[in-house]
Amino acid sequence: MKKLVAILLTVLVAFSMFACKTASDATAAAGDKKVYNVVSLVNGNLGDKSFFDSAESGLKALQDAGRITYKTIEMGGTDEDQPKWLETLYEVAESKEYDLIIVGTYQMPDYLKEVATAYPDQKFLIYDDTSYVGENANVVNISYKQNDMGYLIGVFAAAMTTDTSVKNINADKVVGFVGGVDSPVINDFLYGFLEGVKATDPEVKVDTRYVNSYVDTATAKEMGLSMISDNKADILWGVAGLSGNGAAEAALESGKAWFIGVDSDQEQTLKPELAAITLTSGLKNVGQSIIWIFDEWDAGRTYWGKLVNLGLTEGGVGIVTDKNFASVAPKAVQDKVLAAEAAIKDGTIKVDTAIGDDTNAVIALRDSMQP
């Protein structure tokens, strides 16, 4: 009996030691989760209240959660600044300090391809561009179904511009699109926008113009004022980074139009007087997409050498449905937008894309809908 008791005690002690070790190992594993060191290269400047600020917010959230340390380098966005972009990319890659180097927009892929090829062991992420997907196994491309988002904004703008009971809405069915540059990504926004407008009211015209810069608010403002005075546009959608804010200034100065923001909730970021005439914003959730990549990375799912395309279902894009949207837009307008969103998610509506489309169908549609 004593021998049996001794054996049982030995087993219990051994089991307790094993259990303690297992718990200790699990705690250590949880505490040892890698904290990534990241650098974000901005080919422009923070404070655009749109694209780059959205990316910055995602990085800050990751740092606040203790998941990364990061540095943002603002390289400037003028023609004079561009020589620094390649130089800076080489510098950060050569330093070997960073687990991930982040860049974004259509202006960066040529520079990235050169540096990513020269440093195959360095990991890179480029957001909002699909160039060279798969050509470098150390690069992940993130793109967004901005055509889906554009469709929702188009439905909203067309429904609003036909309701003259709303302040600043005139009898002419014209809305404006102020784009940054004539590029596949910007035209992907436009394609969805045009299709959403046309599906809602085929009589609505869209005055489309390109600033040819993401930092030229003055030119965007001139374009916006011309759209309002010459063609009676009463809603302007600015899809042009910092330049887009010039369209908001045009709407405010005229006192005859509304503005729609892009990329982030611009009612929260624009100065109060501009926020007051911003009806809604199309959301390209750059910051959330960066968080998504780290969630996947930590879960052991990586996408090096691949393209990740995030849409409404994944939370990659969306539309602001509170604040001015809820208080200014009639309920019938809101319902049309929410119905369109549901139809895109369930596949009832399939929005065309300008990405990879060699037919120039978006250009033909754009030209056919000019006032």
pLDDT tens digits, 263-306: 889 998 899 999 999 999 999 889 989 999 999 999 999 999 99
CATH of 146-284+312-368, one of 3.40.50.970, 3.40.50.2300, 1.25.40.80, 3.40.50.300: 3.40.50.2300
Please answer whether residues 175 and 237 qualify as being in contact, where contact means their C-beta atoms are separated by less than 8 angstroms. Answer: yes
- The helix or strand, by DSSP H or E, that contains position 279, with its residue range, turns out to be strand 278-284
pLDDT value of position 32: 63
DSSP for residue 33: P
User: Among candidates 106, 54, 105, 49, which has minimal Cα distance to 249?
Assistant: 49
In this predicted structure, the answer to whether residue 51 has a pLDDT above a threshold of 80 is no
Q: What is the pLDDT of residue 328?
A: 98
Between the alpha carbon of residue 233 and those of residues 121, 223, 310, the distances in Å are: 51, 11, 31
- The type of residue at 184 is P
| Dist CA 209 CA 182 (whole Å) | 9
Q: What separation in angstroms does the CA of 69 have from each of 31, 46, 52, 65, 300?
A: 16, 18, 18, 10, 20
* Separation of alpha carbons 264 and 348, rounded Å: 27
Long-range CB pairs of 331-338 (<8 Å, 24+ gap) are 332/159, 332/163, 333/156, 333/159, 333/160, 333/163, 336/155, 336/156, 336/159, 336/200, 337/152, 337/155, 337/156, 337/159
Beta-bridged to residue 42, according to DSSP, are 74
Cα 239 to chain center, whole Å? 11
- The pLDDT tens digits of the residues spanning 147-180 come to 999 999 999 999 999 999 999 999 999 999 999 9
Is the pLDDT at 27 greater than 50, yes or no? no
Q: Which range has the worst mean pLDDT, 20-34, 223-237, 290-304?
A: 20-34
Give the pLDDT mean for 133-143: 95
Whole-model pTM: value is: 0.73
The pLDDT of residue 241 is above 50: yes
The C-alpha atoms of residue 31 and residue 164 are separated, in whole angstroms, by 59
- Cβ count within 10 A of residue 367: 10
Residue 63 pLDDT > 80, yes or no? yes
Concatenate the DSSP letters of all residues of 107-133 into one string: TSHHHHHHHHHH-TTS-EEEES--TTT
pLDDT at 7: 43
Q: Which of 10-14, 226-230, 267-271, 343-347 has the lowest mean pLDDT?
A: 10-14
How sure is the predictor about 106, in pLDDT bands with cuts at 50, 70 and 90? confident
Domain boundaries along the sequence of the chain:
36-144, 146-284+312-368
Pairwise CA distance, residues 227 & 52, whole Å: 27
Taking the alpha carbons of 165, 168, 172, 176 in that order, is the dihedral positive or negative? negative
> Which ranges in the chain belong to alpha helices (H)?
2-31, 51-64, 82-95, 109-118, 146-161, 184-200, 217-231, 244-254, 272-275, 286-298, 324-328, 331-345, 361-368
Nearest CA among 282, 152, 150, 173 for reference residue 234: 173
pLDDT at 299: 95
DSSP β-ladder status, 139-144 and 124-127:
parallel
| Fold match, 36-144 / 146-284+312-368 | yes
List, in sequence order, every residue forming a beta bridge with 265; answer none if it has no partner: none
Rounded Cα–Cα distance for residues 280 and 260 (Å): 5
Fold of 36-144: Rossmann fold (3.40.50)
- Do 234 and 247 meet the contact criterion of CB atoms below 8 Å apart? no
- Work out the average pLDDT over 101-127: 96
